């Protein structure tokens, strides 16, 4: 079994970043948490639980907070969602549990479910308690999990609880995937993601880092394990295909977010343009503003109604000082070896450029955030069925067209929330265990 890990201590010491990225929603203290917990109506048919992709028993964990049973509350959360701490910070609750709260019907504020969830999880950490369940008796079976993000972590936890060995292979030097490297620091700090994985590692999940799994290695892992879970996430951010994209000062949103979270960059230049208007674009733009840029523009070819970012993210970004250039698209990135300006075109209602209205804005940094490609090209198509690069799975079990392979998360749904990846991973863990048992029974 693997040695105990301490990823939390490997988090980079970046006081500059900590100071610039305080919590968007500061934690509740005990008094506020108890008051909020006592406001809950503990609905019998809890719409919040139904709206949570991992179906956490929300009234139950909140009631336990109200009665002072913090460990019991955390156990209720973790039973349904092993990444309950990061989901408490990263979930877009307005469109999930809190959006479904019955308080809306009475024109009252919804129960602050996520902040109560965080309170319960923080209390567990502070008490120094161990994970409130252990790994199952060894079955002698093993599963290789490719990718160390939320889907693989959730799948690994389910496998370990059932006594199945879980070995995670990750291309990054630290585990957690997007949880560690890709979510804005003021929502989910890198160190908090690692703290949560330290707790999960108590179940005996084994980790291999800096490993890029290619077709050859995948074949070896398939041969040496009883099943394989593909938690590949998504691949590179798309290119614009315009002049100047290779100039110094052009980057992509995922690299930018990972670099500031890991302390590689601690400041932003004066003029920044982010291309795209999804949630990742907003995270990158807000980061540039907090890192000291005096002017941050988001450039988007459609209007605010069509942007894929959540409305509350848009509102928050405006508060951070980000400006939006709607119905606008980049024509070229200009500079002498390094970015100096961005030529933009206004678009008409048919998304066609109006050349007579081209204009330039000064930029020192261009951040691309126009969607990601898939990262499944190393999978043999006749081995695992794909649809435009997306892995096709049975949604109930996570099983792919090849019975030995299971999958979940962004590589199967083209990019959704952390909590969706956790739900997928959990389902696949249960699905793998059931399939292995069936194989054993039929042997
Ligand atoms: S995991 Fe997310 S969606 Fe589910 S109850 Fe917690 S905050 Fe809400």
Q: What is the distance of C-alpha 57 from the center of its chain?
A: 22
Q: For residues 406 and 230, is the Cβ–Cβ distance under 8 A? A: yes
Give the pLDDT band (50/70/90) at residue 2. very low
Residue 76 Cβ inside 6 Å of ligand 1? The answer reads: no
Give the pLDDT band (50/70/90) at residue 1. very low
Q: Write down the pLDDT at residue 128.
A: 86
Query: Which one, of 359, 390, 387, 396, lies nearest residue 374 by Cα?
Result: 390
Give the pLDDT band (50/70/90) at residue 374. confident
CA 49 to ligand 1: nearest atom: 5
Give the Cα separation of 48 and 419 in Å (integer): 14
Fold of 142-235+380-442: FAD/NAD(P)-binding domain (3.50.50)
Any idea which residue has 């959540």 for tokens? 310
Give the Cα separation of 360 and 133 in Å (integer): 59
Residue nearest (by alpha carbon) to ligand 1 atom 3: 52
Q: For residues 232 and 327, is the Cβ–Cβ distance under 8 A? A: no
Give the pLDDT band (50/70/90) at residue 393. very high
Ranges of CATH 1.10.1060.10 domains, the chain: 24-127
Q: Are strands 359-362 and 339-346 parallel, antiparallel or unpaired?
A: antiparallel
Architecture of the domain whose range is 24-127:
Orthogonal Bundle (1.10)
Please state the rounded mean pLDDT for residues 38-60.
97
Residue 69 has pLDDT above 80, yes or no: yes
> Percent of the chain beyond pLDDT 70?
99
User: Looking at the whole model, is its pTM more than 0.85?
Assistant: yes
Give the pLDDT band (50/70/90) at residue 381. low
Residue 28 Cα to ligand 1 middle (Å): 16
> Model confidence over 93-148: pLDDT tens digits?
999 999 999 999 999 999 999 999 999 999 999 998 888 889 999 999 999 999 99
Give the Cα separation of 345 and 352 in Å (integer): 9
3-state secondary structure at position 175: coil
CB atoms within 10 A of CB 376: 20
Give the Cα separation of 241 and 253 in Å (integer): 16
Residue 341 Cα to ligand 1 middle (Å): 42
Q: Give, in words, the CATH class of 250-368.
A: alpha beta
Ranges of CATH 3.50.50.60 domains, the chain: 142-235+380-442, 250-368
Residue 81 Cβ inside 6 Å of ligand 1? The answer reads: yes
Give the Cα separation of 148 and 177 in Å (integer): 6
Q: For residues 8 and 195, is the Cβ–Cβ distance under 8 A? A: yes
Residue 233 Cα to ligand 1 middle (Å): 21
Residue 85 Cβ inside 6 Å of ligand 1? The answer reads: no
Given phi > 0 = left and psi -120 to 50 = alpha, else beta, which region is 300? beta
Residue 152 Cα to ligand 1 middle (Å): 19
| Token output for 405 | 């392979």
Residue nearest (by alpha carbon) to ligand 1 atom 1: 87
Q: What is the distance of C-alpha 368 from the center of its chain?
A: 18
Q: Are strands 328-335 and 339-346 parallel, antiparallel or unpaired?
A: antiparallel
Give the Cα separation of 268 and 266 in Å (integer): 7
Q: For residues 266 and 355, is the Cβ–Cβ distance under 8 A? A: no
The H-assigned helical ranges of 145-301 are 150-161, 178-181, 190-201, 215-224, 253-261, 279-290
Residue 279 Cβ inside 6 Å of ligand 1? The answer reads: no
CB atoms within 10 A of CB 368: 25
Q: For residues 233 and 147, is the Cβ–Cβ distance under 8 A? A: yes
Residue 205 Cα to ligand 1 middle (Å): 24
């Amino acid at each position: 079994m693997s040695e105990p890990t301490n990823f939390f201590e490997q988090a980079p010491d970046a006081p500059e970043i900590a100071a610039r990225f305080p919590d968007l929603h500061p934690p509740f203290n005990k008094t506020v948490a108890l008051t909020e917990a006592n406001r809950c109506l503990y609905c019998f048919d809890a719409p919040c639980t139904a709206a949570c992709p991992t179906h956490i028993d929300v009234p139950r964990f909140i009631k336990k907070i109200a009665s002072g049973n913090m460990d019991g509350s955390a156990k209720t959360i973790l039973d349904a969602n092993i990444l309950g701490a990061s989901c408490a910070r990263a979930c877009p609750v307005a469109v999930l549990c809190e959006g479904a709260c019955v308080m809306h019907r009475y024109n009252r504020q919804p129960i602050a479910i996520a902040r109560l969830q965080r309170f319960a999880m923080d209390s567990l950490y502070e008490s120094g308690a161990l994970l409130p369940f252990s790994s199952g008796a060894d079955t002698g079976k093993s599963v290789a999990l490719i990718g160390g993000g939320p889907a693989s972590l959730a799948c690994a936890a389910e496998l370990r609880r059932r006594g199945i060995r879980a070995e995670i292979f990750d291309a990054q030097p630290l585990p957690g995937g997007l949880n560690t490297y890709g979510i804005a620091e003021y929502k989910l700090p890198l160190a908090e993601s690692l703290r949560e994985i330290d707790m999960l590692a108590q179940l005996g999940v084994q980790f291999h880092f800096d490993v890029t799994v290619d077709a050859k290695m995948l074949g070896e892992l398939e041969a040496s394990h009883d099943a394989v879970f593909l938690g590949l996430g998504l691949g590179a951010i798309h290119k614009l295909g315009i002049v100047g994209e290779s100039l110094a000062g052009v980057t992509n949103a995922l690299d930018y977010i990972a670099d500031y979270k890991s302390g590689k960059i601690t400041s932003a230049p004066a003029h920044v343009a982010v291309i795209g208007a999804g949630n990742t674009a907003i995270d990158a733009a807000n980061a540039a503003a907090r890192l000291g840029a005096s002017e941050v523009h988001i450039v988007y070819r459609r209007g605010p109604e069509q942007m894929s970012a959540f409305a509350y993210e848009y509102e928050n970004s405006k508060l951070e000082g980000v400006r939006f250039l709607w119905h606008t698209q980049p024509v070229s990135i200009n500079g002498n070896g390094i970015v100096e300006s961005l030529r933009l075109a206004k678009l008409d209602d048919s998304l066609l450029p109006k050349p007579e209205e081209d204009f330039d804005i000064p930029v020192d940094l261009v951040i691309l955030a126009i969607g990601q490609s898939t990262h499944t090209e190393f999978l043999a198509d006749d081995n695992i069925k794909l649809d435009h690069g997306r892995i096709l799975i049975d949604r109930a079990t996570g099983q792919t067209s090849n019975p030995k392979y299971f999958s979940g998360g962004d590589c199967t749904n083209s990019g959704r929330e952390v909590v969706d990846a956790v739900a997928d991973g959990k389902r696949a863990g249960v699905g793998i265990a059931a399939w292995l048992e069936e194989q054993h029974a039929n042997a």
